[in-house]
Amino acid sequence: MRGEDNKTEALFTYVTPESFVPKDHPLRAIRKMADDALAGMDKLFDSIYASAGRPSIPPEKLLKAQLLMILYSIRSNRQLVEQIHYNFLFRWFLGMALDEKIWDHSSFSKNSERLIGSEVAAVFLSRILEQAKRKRLLSNEHFTVDGTLIEAWASIKSFKPKDPQDGPPSGTGGGKNDSVDFKGKKLSNETHGSDTDPDARLYRKGKTKEAKLCYQGHTLMENRNGLIIKTAVTLATGTAEREAAKKMIQKLPRTSQRITLGADKGYDTKDFVKDLRELNVTPHVAQNNSNRRSAIDGRTTSLLGYTISQRIRKRIEEGFGWMKTVGRLRKTMYRGVDKIAMQLDLHAVAYNLVRMANLGLGAT
């Protein structure tokens, strides 16, 4: 018998967001680990906010909301706030009641900017890693480093001469989106800059690739379970990957024990290998023998550990792939090194939480 399409809504419903979330939902483990990490950050939050004045959106909710943005590939703050308004799962994750008023998207954006430039995201990442360390999920001996390009939120048309006398490239059509003819024009970071995002640099990944305005993101991964332990964002230059790698290695807690660092061929330079050895780091860098002599010799490549590092180092690409597809970090929506650095830290937090949840951490 056909059922009736009744459109009568109940006047009262006695339910909580908790009742809508399945017991085995993957967000349960992620929320538990995130809440445990945020619970120990009260002093840091207190140092950022004034003791008097109008209450803001709690920083815990700001960070967890941005985790939702990354985990569910939400493209904007406006769409995120709309989702929180009617999505019971999101309300439950944020610890909000069904009748609790949702903040405006502009308020969310403004409150989020307060955290930019602070160490909040980096501390959040470190506290997540502390949970993994207690469960012996981290290696303290073997690491991998790599970098990737993050496309800037700026058009190539914004890349204009720094000297006004040179004038902009000739264009047609008029209006804000004037067509520009770059044929025969030499574009260089020395003579040109983006008026949309001054920190963005024109960079080409390879000879067959087109040049784009972008940044470089860098991650340091431990080799046991592929968790990201350090991140950095720099201007896009030919030496940025090696410079960022040395800085991240120097920030690691060190003992007298020698550690290893895996990397691809782009790190195979005489100076970089020498600097690593001076830091008591064994360079497990892939050899680059293309019309040149590699800085890595047989003393290193003959070791079993080198072979293992070369096999495991490719796992770092999984993190970049996840952050660029699921997290939508391939083309950033933010401008400036500080904003993008915070986003890379939050993407590393989200990626680690997913991996740790898959390893059974956070399960109740």
- Condensed to tens digits (0 to 9), the pLDDT of residues 222-236 reads 999 999 999 999 999
pLDDT of residue 19: 83
pLDDT band for position 3 (cuts 50, 70, 90): low
The verdict on residue 123 lying in a domain is: no
pLDDT of residue 298: 86
Query: 29, 363 in Cβ contact below 8 A?
Result: yes
The verdict on residue 349 lying in a domain is: no
Residue 239 has pLDDT above 60, yes or no: yes
Q: Are residues 186 and 326 in the same domain?
A: no
Q: Are residues 189 and 235 in the same domain?
A: no
Q: Roughly what angle, to the nearest 10 degrees, separates helices 59-71 and 120-134?
A: 70
Q: Are residues 249 and 312 in the same domain?
A: yes
Q: Are residues 100 and 174 in the same domain?
A: no
Range of the domain at 24: 17-113
Neighbours of 288 (CB within 10 A): 17
Q: Are residues 294 and 189 in the same domain?
A: no
Q: What single string gives the DSSP state of each residue in 165-220?
A: GG-PPPEES-STT-EE--TT----TTTEEESS-TT-EEE-SSTTSPPEEEEEEEEE
Tokens representing 176 are 């804000």
Numbers of helices and strands, H then E, in the chain? 13, 10
The verdict on residue 345 lying in a domain is: no
How many domains does one find in the chain?
A: 3
The predicted model scores a pTM of 0.91
Going through the chain in order, the beta strands assigned E by DSSP cover: 142-151, 159-161, 171-172, 179-180, 192-194, 201-203, 212-222, 228-235, 259-263, 281-285
Reported as a single tens digit per residue, the pLDDT across 317-360 is: 999 999 999 999 999 999 999 999 999 999 999 999 999 999 98
pLDDT of residue 99: 84
Residue 166 has pLDDT above 60, yes or no: no
pLDDT of residue 205: 82
CA separation for the pair 54, 45 (Å, rounded): 16
Q: Are residues 267 and 285 in the same domain?
A: yes
CA distances (Å), origin 265, targets 145, 147, 241, 281, 297: 12, 12, 11, 17, 14
Residue 156 has pLDDT above 80, yes or no: yes
The verdict on residue 122 lying in a domain is: no
Q: Are residues 100 and 70 in the same domain?
A: yes
Q: Are residues 316 and 247 in the same domain?
A: yes
DSSP state of 23: T
